[in-house]
């Protein structure tokens, strides 16, 4: 991978008036190259920032505009500079050299910074578990670079594909109001970016603050293409909890020694379930596992300080527990919405979910184990290797043994509900929980897995995932384009509102044949209609917990239960006052979840199990939300560089 050389930006003559038009400069030191990028201050800043830039074939100097043009003429009007900032870098404003990183971060100077502009999809060799393989990454990093932005920022990230796979990226949990073209699921909102091609993802962060994640949304590439999105509150707006001294990102993931694309391809050929992963990781590190010594990730803390942990589950198929020995943490936000704070020693987090929690380093100086272990309360095979990381206080004596902790049992269902039952929307004046109180569309979706014959599989059969007995078939054109341009033959809008046959969904059905049908069927919603979905887990083949994710919306989790949903009595117990608001929720094994949302975002939006193995098997469907009548109630036109299939 080509690494960006160190260079310098110099800001001259940036007066207060001009500075106001700019935005904040955020720097993520670990994940440079730093990209400064933003559509705002083209004339004022691009002309007044002096840049010089060294790259392999020479050096450019001049105003940013000139430099940028030289480096990448396709970028046009945008101010976009990529440079590798090191401790020795200088940023000069009005002749004032800023060497101090804190100061640089607080400068009144623009700019949304993306380590991402020119996010490049590249192959990189990586060694874990004492074995080396080539992985697909963004800019050579695993996990990938963090995107920092503020609420109301517009984000522009150009993705350039330099590998042999088709690629897309999904900004998981970003509302994408009217900008479905930038949502990212392949064949749902866009055709994939083909090898050698690039696409500019352009969207605005509206009404959200907290942590989200981005990940590839095609095949199983998200195993190694994922990273954090940090949305800070607007400038001057505090967090609704005590200001932490520092923030730390913690990304949990899964690792296969084998090539992950080969794992899923082989499963498709044979019809057998794909191999489980070989280990879990914390910020890319597994910690020691039997047969392979590895240091594991260390979270460094100073005694007495409080840290905001931004915890992300980027695993493909595993719901996880996260625990720090000897420390309770206080949950303050999930899926980029604030919650009522509560203290816990264990976090339960499904793939696609994020949890922000405050950790105060108030224990004796030393080293404490951080354990990340899987949850699986049924007979399905799962990677049961616990990832090991450490919390380390400054001043800890070298080689001190860590304070240990136990992990919840792998099938500790009560530990999952102990956590999820405490989650409540903050529901303050400033951050109200706007739960829909009436319901226009009352949907009952059974979700499960079955076995169907498969003529092309070597075993003659394969697993299918279905919602209301429909196993979703991916189209070969993007659904959003078919909807926008009224192209028929790509999908139908007759997705069933309830299961075709009613039976005891959570009874003894492991041998049952559902007679699943295949189809590319969507459910149509009028703009601003209100929707309730009861997601009913079934026991066909095997009951299992399913972390369900809805694109384009947050929903409120108004009810939850074991067994079959009772439409007469269960709604009486719904929480319509302060239910948690999120984008991904675990439907309990052989149980149900009720969610509500308002269809205030026109477009085509995917709903699927966020266990990649189940998505692959067809446990997914799409909503089509029609345009409204008002001026801001229609899908924006597609960008001119939208990839074609
Ligand atoms: Cu995070 Cu459709 O996925």
Task: With H, G, I as helix, E, B as strand and everything else as coil, classify residue 403.
Answer: strand
Chain segment 424-458, per-residue pLDDT in tens: 999 999 999 999 999 999 999 999 999 999 999 99
- Report the predicted TM-score, pTM, of the whole model to 2 decimal places: 0.84
Q: From ligand 1's centre to the CA of 312, what distance in Å? A: 13
145 alpha-carbon distance from chain centroid: 13
Order of all β-strands in the sheet with 120-128: 131-138, 120-128, 154-161, 198-204
pLDDT at 387: 95
Neighbouring-strand partners of residue 319: 375
Quick check: CB of 170 below 6 Å from ligand 1?
A: yes
Chain segment 57-75, per-residue pLDDT in tens: 334 444 444 444 444 433 3
CATH number corresponding to 441-633: 2.60.40.420
Mean pLDDT of 563-583: 98
pLDDT at 156: 78
Kindly tell me the sign of the dihedral angle through the C-alpha atoms of 273, 274, 278, 281.
negative
Question: Domain residue spans in the chain?
Answer: 6-115, 120-233, 241-425, 441-633
Please state, as a whole number, how many other Cβ atoms lie within 10 Å of the Cβ of residue 532. Answer: 22
Q: From ligand 1's centre to the CA of 19, what distance in Å? A: 37
Our CA dihedral for 12, 17, 22, 25, rounded to 10 degrees, sits at 60
Give which of 200, 194, 230, 185 is closest to 212, Cα–Cα.
230
Chain segment 520-559, per-residue pLDDT in tens: 999 999 999 999 999 999 998 889 999 999 999 999 999 9
pLDDT at 471: 97
Neighbouring-strand partners of residue 548: 585, 609
377 touches 591 (CB < 8 A): no
CATH 3.40.190.10 applies to domain 120-233: no
Chain segment 301-332, per-residue pLDDT in tens: 999 999 999 999 999 999 999 999 999 999 99
**Any idea how long the chain is?**
645
Chain segment 586-632, per-residue pLDDT in tens: 999 999 999 999 999 999 999 999 999 999 999 999 999 999 999 99
Task: With H, G, I as helix, E, B as strand and everything else as coil, classify residue 626.
Answer: coil
Residue 184 CA: nearest ligand 1 atom is: 2
Order of all β-strands in the sheet with 319-324: 298-301, 387-393, 367-375, 319-324, 346-349
pLDDT band for 254, please (50, 70, 90 cuts): very high
SS3 annotation, 250-264: EEEEEECCCCHHHHH
Quick check: CB of 606 below 6 Å from ligand 1?
A: yes
Quick check: CB of 351 below 6 Å from ligand 1?
A: no
Q: From ligand 1's centre to the CA of 174, what distance in Å? A: 11
Neighbouring-strand partners of residue 550: 607
Residues in contact with 103: Cβ distance below 8 Å, sequence separation at least 6, in sequence order? none
Q: Fold match between 120-233 and 441-633?
A: yes
446 touches 471 (CB < 8 A): no
CA-closest residue to ligand 1 atom 3: 172
Quick check: CB of 610 below 6 Å from ligand 1?
A: yes
525 touches 441 (CB < 8 A): yes
Q: From ligand 1's centre to the CA of 420, what distance in Å? A: 20
Residue 222 CA: nearest ligand 1 atom is: 1
CATH number corresponding to 241-425: 2.60.40.420
Task: With H, G, I as helix, E, B as strand and everything else as coil, classify residue 45.
Answer: helix
Residue 4 has pLDDT above 70, yes or no: no
Q: From ligand 1's centre to the CA of 547, what distance in Å? A: 11
Of residues 20 and 556, more confidently modeled: 556
CA atoms within 13 A on the CB side of 125: 3
Look-up of token digits 């900032």: 85
Give which of 268, 617, 607 is closest to 464, Cα–Cα.
617
Our CA dihedral for 280, 285, 291, 293, rounded to 10 degrees, sits at -150
Residue 213 CA: nearest ligand 1 atom is: 1
Q: From ligand 1's centre to the CA of 63, what distance in Å? A: 40
**CA 250-235-171 angle, 5° bins:** 45
Quick check: CB of 608 below 6 Å from ligand 1?
A: yes
pLDDT band for 43, please (50, 70, 90 cuts): very low
Quick check: CB of 172 below 6 Å from ligand 1?
A: yes
197 touches 120 (CB < 8 A): no
DSSP letters of 526-544? -TT-EEEEEEEE--SS---
Q: How far apart are CA 203 and CA 140, in angstroms?
A: 24
Mean pLDDT of 289-300: 90
DSSP state of 201: E
- Paired tokens of 204: 């605005």
Residue 352 CA: nearest ligand 1 atom is: 1
Q: Where are the beta strands (DSSP E) in 306-383?
A: 306-313, 319-324, 329-334, 337-344, 346-349, 354-360, 367-375
Quick check: CB of 352 below 6 Å from ligand 1?
A: yes
- Paired tokens of 21: 């038009």
pLDDT band for 283, please (50, 70, 90 cuts): very high
Q: Helices (H) and strands (E) in the chain — how many of each?
A: 8, 39
Residue 608 CA: nearest ligand 1 atom is: 2
Residue 188 CA: nearest ligand 1 atom is: 2
Q: From ligand 1's centre to the CA of 353, what distance in Å? A: 10
Quick check: CB of 78 below 6 Å from ligand 1?
A: no
Look-up of token digits 């319901």: 439
Task: With H, G, I as helix, E, B as strand and everything else as coil, classify residue 9.
Answer: strand
Quick check: CB of 280 below 6 Å from ligand 1?
A: no
Q: From ligand 1's centre to the CA of 476, what distance in Å? A: 19
299 touches 390 (CB < 8 A): yes
Q: How far apart are CA 211 and CA 583, in angstroms?
A: 12
Q: Give the chain's mean pLDDT.
A: 84
Q: Can the peptide bond before residue 557 be classed as cis, meaning omega within 30 degrees of 0?
A: no
């Amino acid at each position: 991978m080509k690494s960006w050389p160190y260079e310098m930006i110099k800001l001259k003559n940036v007066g207060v008036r001009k500075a106001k038009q700019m935005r904040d400069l955020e720097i993520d030191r670990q994940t440079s190259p730093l990209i400064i990028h933003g559509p705002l201050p083209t004339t004022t800043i691009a002309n007044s920032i002096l840049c010089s830039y060294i790259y392999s074939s020479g050096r450019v100097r001049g105003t940013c505009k000139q430099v940028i043009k030289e480096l990448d003429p396709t970028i046009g009007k945008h101010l976009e500079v990529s440079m590798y900032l090191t401790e020795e870098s200088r940023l000069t404003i009005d002749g004032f050299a800023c060497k101090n990183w804190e100061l640089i971060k607080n400068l009144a100077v623009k700019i949304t910074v993306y380590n991402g502009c020119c996010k490049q999809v590249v192959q990189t060799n990586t060694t874990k578990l004492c074995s080396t393989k080539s992985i697909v990454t963004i800019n050579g990093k695993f996990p990938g670079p963090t995107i920092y932005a503020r609420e109301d920022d517009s984000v522009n990230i150009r993705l350039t594909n330099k590998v042999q796979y088709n690629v897309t990226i999904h900004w998981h949990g970003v509302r994408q109001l009217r900008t479905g073209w930038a949502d990212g699921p392949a064949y749902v909102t866009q055709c994939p970016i083909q090898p050698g091609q690039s696409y500019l993802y352009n969207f605005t962060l509206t009404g959200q603050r907290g942590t989200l994640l981005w990940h590839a949304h095609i095949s199983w590439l998200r195993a190694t293409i994922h990273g954090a999105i940090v949305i800070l509150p607007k400038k001057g707006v505090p967090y609704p909890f005590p200001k932490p001294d520092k923030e730390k990102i913690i990304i949990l993931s899964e690792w296969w020694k084998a090539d992950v694309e080969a794992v899923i391809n082989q499963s498709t050929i044979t019809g057998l379930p794909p191999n489980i992963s070989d280990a879990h990781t914390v910020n890319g590190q597994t910690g020691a596992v039997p047969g392979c010594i590895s240091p594991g990730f260390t979270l460094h803390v100073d005694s007495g300080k409080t840290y905001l942990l931004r915890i992300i589950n980027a695993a493909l198929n595993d719901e996880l527990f996260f625990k720090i020995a000897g420390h309770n943490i206080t949950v303050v936000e999930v899926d980029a919405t604030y919650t009522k704070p509560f203290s816990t020693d264990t976090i339960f987090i499904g793939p696609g979910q994020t949890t922000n929690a405050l950790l105060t380093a108030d224990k004796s100086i030393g080293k404490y184990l951080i354990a990340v272990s899987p949850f699986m309360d049924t007979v399905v095979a799962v990677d049961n290797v616990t990832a090991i990381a450490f919390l380390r206080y400054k001043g800890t004596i070298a080689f001190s043994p860590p304070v240990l902790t136990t992990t919840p049992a792998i099938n500790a269902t009560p530990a999952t509900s102990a956590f999820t039952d405490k989650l409540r929307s903050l529901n303050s004046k400033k951050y109200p929980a706007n739960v829909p109180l009436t319901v226009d569309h009352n949907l009952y979706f059974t979700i499960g897995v079955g076995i169907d014959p498969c003529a092309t599989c070597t075993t003659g059969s394969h697993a299918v995932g279905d919602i209301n007995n429909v196993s979703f078939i991916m189209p070969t054109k993007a659904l959003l384009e078919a909807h926008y341009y009224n192209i028929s033959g790509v999908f139908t809008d007759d997705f069933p509102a309830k299961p075709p046959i009613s039976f005891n969904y959570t009874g003894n059905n492991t041998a049952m044949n559902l007679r699943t049908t295949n189809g590319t069927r969507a459910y149509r919603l009028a703009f601003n209609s209100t929707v309730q979905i009861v997601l009913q887990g079934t026991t066909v083949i095997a009951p299992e917990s399913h972390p369900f994710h809805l694109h384009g919306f947050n929903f409120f989790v108004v009810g939850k239960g074991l067994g079959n949903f009772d439409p007469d009595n269960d709604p009486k117990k719904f929480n319509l006052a302060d239910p948690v608001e999120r984008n991904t929720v675990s439907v309990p094994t052989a149980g149900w979840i009720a969610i509500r949302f308002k269809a205030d975002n026109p477009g085509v939006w995917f709903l699927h199990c966020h266990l990649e193995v189940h998505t692959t098997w067809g446990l997914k469907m799409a909503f089509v939300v029609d345009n409204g009548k008002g001026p801001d109630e229609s899908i924006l036109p597609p960008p001119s560089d939208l990839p074609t299939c």
